[in-house]
C-alpha cells in the first residue's frame, strides 16, 4: 500500500496531468462458472497480494474523490509477452517442455484464466494517457492502429490517415517508418517531410530524429549547427536521447561553441532519466576535468 500512496501524494503535489494505476482482476476474487466481472463488481480479494492491490485501488479512489486527482484504475487480466518472468504459466510450460520436465498444473486443472498480450495492454494505457491529455480520440485510435499494425503504414491506412489529418505523433511515426523501411519502401525524403511536419507541432521525437539526420547527413547535407538546433528543441521538451546528444555536441564543439558546462548540464538532465550513455559520458567528462 505504501507504493501507491507515495505516488498519489507526489502526483497531487506536483499537479500530474494523469495517473494510471495498474491493478489486477484478482481484486474481484474467483469468478463463479460462466460469470464475468465488470467495473461495478464488488471487491473480494482472496489472497494477501490481491488484498494489497485492492487497498491501492481504494487509495486511488480516495484521492480522486478528496483532491480531484485525475487518475484511473486499470484492472487487467494476466499479461504475456517477450521476456516474461520464467515462473509465469506460458514461459514455464514452454521451458519445461523443451527440457522434457513435468508440466505443473495448479489445483485440479479446472480453473479458467483470462489473458492478454502485453502489446494490447500497452495500447490501452497509451490510449488513455493520450486522450486524457487532450488528444482527439479518433486520431488516438488511428495512430495506435497504424503504429502497432504489423503490416506497417503502407497497406494499412489508419496511422497514415491520422498523419495526413495533422496528428503529430502519427506524423513522427510515419517518418520513422520511411526512415527505416518498415511497412513501406525506405524513402529519406518522405521521412524528412513527415518529421518536419511533426516537429513543426513540437513533437520531441521528430525533432530529435531530424537532429540525427542532419548530424549524419541522411537525405540532407551534414549540418552540425542544424543538428544541434533540433537536439536543443527536443532536449528542452525532456527527450533524454536528445539531451545526451546535445551534451555530446557541446563537449566536442560541433555545431555549437565548445562548452563543458553546457555538456555537463545536458548529460545530467539525461542521466536523471536513467539514460545510461549520458551517465557514462558525465562520469568521463567530470573525471577528465579533475586536477591530476
**Which positions are annotated as active-site residues?**
25-26, 49
Contacts of 13 (CB under 8 A, 6+ apart): none
Do 206 and 168 contact (CB within 8 A), yes or no?
yes
> What is the rounded CA–CA span in Å between residue 10 and residue 2?
12
Cα-based distances in Å from 288 to 253, 254, 260: 16, 19, 11
Tell me phi and psi for residue 123, to 5 degrees: -60, -40
Contacts of 145 (CB under 8 A, 6+ apart): 156, 158, 159
Do 228 and 262 contact (CB within 8 A), yes or no?
no
Residue 181, SS3?
Answer: coil
One DSSP character per residue, 34-81 reads T----TTSPP---SHHHHHHHHHHHHHHHHHHHH---EEEE---EEE-
Contacts of 50 (CB under 8 A, 6+ apart): 24, 26, 27, 29
Residue 116, SS3?
Answer: strand
Contacts of 138 (CB under 8 A, 6+ apart): none
Amino acid at each position: 500500500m505504501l507504493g501507491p500512496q507515495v505516488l498519489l501524494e507526489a502526483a497531487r503535489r506536483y499537479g500530474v496531468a494523469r495517473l494510471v494505476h495498474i491493478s489486477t482482476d484478482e481484486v474481484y476474487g474467483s469468478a463463479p462458472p460462466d460469470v464475468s466481472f465488470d467495473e461495478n463488481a464488488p471487491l473480494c480479494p482472496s489472497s494477501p497480494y490481491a488484498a494489497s492491490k485492492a487497498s491501492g485501488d481504494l487509495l486511488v479512489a480516495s484521492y480522486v474523490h478528496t483532491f480531484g486527482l485525475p487518475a484511473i484504475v486499470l484492472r487487467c487480466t494476466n499479461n504475456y509477452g517477450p521476456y516474461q518472468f520464467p515462473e509465469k504459466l506460458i514461459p514455464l510450460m514452454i521451458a519445461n517442455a523443451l527440457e522434457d520436465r513435468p508440466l505443473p498444473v495448479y489445483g485440479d486443472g479446472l480453473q479458467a484464466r483470462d489473458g492478454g498480450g502485453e502489446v494490447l495492454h500497452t495500447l490501452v494505457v497509451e490510449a488513455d494517457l493520450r486522450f486524457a491529455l487532450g488528444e482527439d480520440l479518433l486520431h488516438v485510435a488511428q495512430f495506435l492502429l497504424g503504429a502497432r499494425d504489423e503490416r506497417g503504414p503502407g497497406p494499412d491506412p489508419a496511422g497514415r490517415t491520422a498523419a495526413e489529418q495533422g496528428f503529430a505523433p502519427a506524423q513522427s511515426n510515419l517518418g520513422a517508418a520511411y526512415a527505416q523501411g518498415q511497412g513501406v519502401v525506405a524513402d529519406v525524403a518522405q521521412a524528412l517531410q513527415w518529421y518536419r511536419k511533426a516537429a513543426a507541432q513540437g513533437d520531441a521525437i521528430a525533432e530529435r530524429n531530424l537532429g540525427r539526420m542532419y548530424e549524419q547527413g541522411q537525405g540532407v547535407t551534414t549540418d552540425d549547427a542544424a543538428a544541434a538546433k533540433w537536439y536543443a528543441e527536443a532536449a528542452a521538451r525532456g527527450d533524454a536521447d536528445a539531451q545526451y546528444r546535445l551534451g555530446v555536441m557541446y563537449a566536442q564543439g560541433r555545431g555549437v561553441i565548445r562548452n563543458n558546462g553546457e555538456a555537463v548540464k545536458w548529460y545530467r538532465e539525461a542521466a536523471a532519466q536513467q539514460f545510461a550513455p549520458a551517465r557514462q559520458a558525465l562520469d568521463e567528462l567530470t573525471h577528465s576535468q579533475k586536477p591530476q
